[in-house]
Chains A and B, each alone.
Chain A
Amino acid sequence: MIDIGDLCRQPMLWCHEGGPDSSVVLCSRARLARNLADTAFKRRLDVAAQEDLLKRLETTLGLIFTDHQLMHLTAASGSLREALVERHIISLELARSEDPSAVFIEGHQRSALMLNEEDHVRLQAFTPGCNLPGALAAVVALDQRSEQHVAWAFDDSLGYLTACPSNAGTALRLSALVHLPALAESGELKRAARGLGQLHLAVRGLFGESSTGIGHFYQVSNQRTLGQSEDAICTRVEEAVQALVGYEQEARKALLEHRRIRLEDRIQRALATLTHARLLTESETIELLSTLRLGIALELVDTPLAAVDRLLVRAQNGHLRIDDPRAVDQDYRHALRADLVRSTLDL
């Protein structure tokens, strides 16, 4: 049985293993959607049939993925689900679902298998920094393990079959989680996002529900899954993300050159608020950590990047409620967050 408290206290992969271009790309993620050939998709199954499906998947996949632990979500608390979303282990859709569901989680949280989300199984793998080929290789390895024992729904002409046609074919979604504060400040972000859209890549805010993105953290991912091989999709996304990294680095240099004193002032104010405030809201904290993260990348402060990235996850609402059930109260939670931030940054 997984202890959710222990799981939430583990730093995210990219915090203890800095990957390529980690000042801009926090991590890379690859997801494959798979369905059993002989069973209807979730929306056509009643609760009893979904429970039966879940049991079958848990039994079969449990024998294959012995390095992953199973966590039932059906009766899980809102805080637990929220914490798993915050760690990118499950999707928001799965967290909000009232249907029977579960997730297999690898010991170091490098991979996870969601059961009974929109598709029967969603395999996902993470690598730190900008390393989409590595994430793809990891998720394909999971898929190969599963295919030795499970017949996934597949058509010779259309590829892997999914509940929504927008996922059919390779059923691959490759994403990079990126931090683009300088592009946003320079006003070039929307132009960059339009350019990515023309390449059929989607850009969404990572925190908050709007696409503007609190703290200028975004997820860049492919929209099309049919008509190209997995490697071709990977090349396309990787090249686009690399270009984005280049633009962001240039924009950061330009900020440092032309607006240094204003930038230093903002960064120091952010650091001062984070290290002295007694109450911090979630969105405020993410914005301030974003500014501090930029300061670290520009070597204007010497706070360790890992500490900031750890806080980006652990200071979120779900994690705080797991740490301390009293954090259900908003004021208590704001104070608890401020305490956590001060103690983490007080190095």
Chain B
Amino acid sequence: MSAAICPYCLVRPATVHISVVDQENQVQAIHICQNCADQQQLEPTAASDALSTWIEEHPPQAAKGSTPFPSLHINLQVSHRGSEGERCPHCGITWKEFMAKQRLGCAHDYEVFADRLVDVLEQIHGARRHEGRRPDQDPVEDERHRLLTQLEHAVEREHYEEAAQLRDRLQQLDAPNRQGESEA
């Protein structure tokens, strides 16, 4: 893919990449063409030196006893219950293989490696327990709850036309129940 266009002149390619460190020690990237960099008096060399210095002063630290989970950019603290060679009897995956590839082998692994996976889940999600929908949920109740939430949002944002449509859909959902009540 070709270089991005310089956002200052909109003509030349942004071939100069400068990293600067702000007051909060965060690195910011600027992409600019050489011509505009000269005009703005930006000096890549000086900025790069600042970046190199910052990296030296802030090397990545792994917590003691942690394992890197690169795709999630976190270091997991996993208690070492069970052996790394323990294998799922359904798909054959070991814990070691999971940590290397960051992917489980089958749904049964959640049971086989339950103790360790709960630690992993806690660190990724900050939670150990599912609070959402279930397969056996009544779909009509599910839909009613969802429509009510959307209706509340629409009213809050003063989208009254949308709110009216949602109200109509809720009424249609409740219509069979009302008919049953009147017949009783």
Residues of A with Cβ closer than 8 Å to B?
20, 35, 37, 39-41, 43-44, 118, 133-134, 136-137, 140-141, 143-144, 147, 151-161, 163-166, 168-170, 172, 185, 187, 190, 194, 200, 208, 212, 214, 224-232, 234-235, 238, 242, 266, 269-270, 273, 281-284, 287-288, 291
Contacts and interface: CB of A to CB of B under 8 A. Distances in A.
Contacts of B143: 137, 141, 144
Contact of A154 (B92, B117, B124, B135): B135
A165 B98 CA distance: 10
Interface residues of B, number: 53
Contact of B130 (A157, A164, A273): A157
Given A165-B124, A226-B125, 17 more contacts: A41-B103, A41-B104, A41-B105, A44-B91, A133-B146, A133-B153, A156-B130, A159-B130, A168-B110, A170-B132, A172-B132, A185-B7, A226-B124, A227-B131, A231-B149, A283-B4, A284-B2
A168 B121 contact: yes
Contact of A224 (B4, B124, B142, B146): B124
Given A41-B103, A44-B92, A165-B120, A227 B129 contact: yes
A169 B135 contact: no
B163 to A, nearest CB: 12
B105 A155 contact: no
20 contacts: A40-B105, A41-B91, A41-B107, A43-B103, A44-B93, A140-B142, A144-B142, A147-B135, A155-B111, A159-B130, A159-B132, A160-B130, A190-B26, A225-B125, A231-B149, A270-B10, A282-B1, A283-B1, A284-B2, A288-B10
B110 A158 contact: yes
Interface in B91-147: 91-93, 101-107, 110-111, 117, 120-121, 124-135, 139, 142-143, 145-147
Contacts of B31: 212
B63 interface: no
A234 B125 CA distance: 16
A43 B105 contact: yes
Nearest to A167: B124
Contacts of B124: 165-166, 224, 226
B106 A229 contact: no
Nearest to A214: B4
Nearest to B145: A231
Nearest to B1: A283
B178 interface: no
A200 B28 CA distance: 21
Contact of A228 (B7, B91, B131): B131
Given A44-B92, A194-B26, A208-B1, A170 B104 contact: no
Interface in B145-182: 145-147, 149-150, 153, 157, 159
Contacts of A170: 130, 132-133
Interface of B: 1-5, 7, 10-11, 26, 28-29, 31, 71-72, 90-93, 101-107, 110-111, 117, 120-121, 124-135, 139, 142-143, 145-147, 149-150, 153, 157, 159
A140 B146 contact: yes
A43 B98 CA distance: 11
A229 B131 contact: yes
Contact of B150 (A137, A141, A224): A137
Contacts of B3: 283
A235 B117 CA distance: 28
A40 B106 contact: yes
Contact of B103 (A37, A144, A159, A163): A163
A119 B92 CA distance: 18
B152 to A, nearest CB: 9
Nearest to A42: B103
A229 B135 contact: no
Given A133-B153, A157-B130, A238-B153, A151 B135 contact: yes
B18 to A, nearest CB: 13
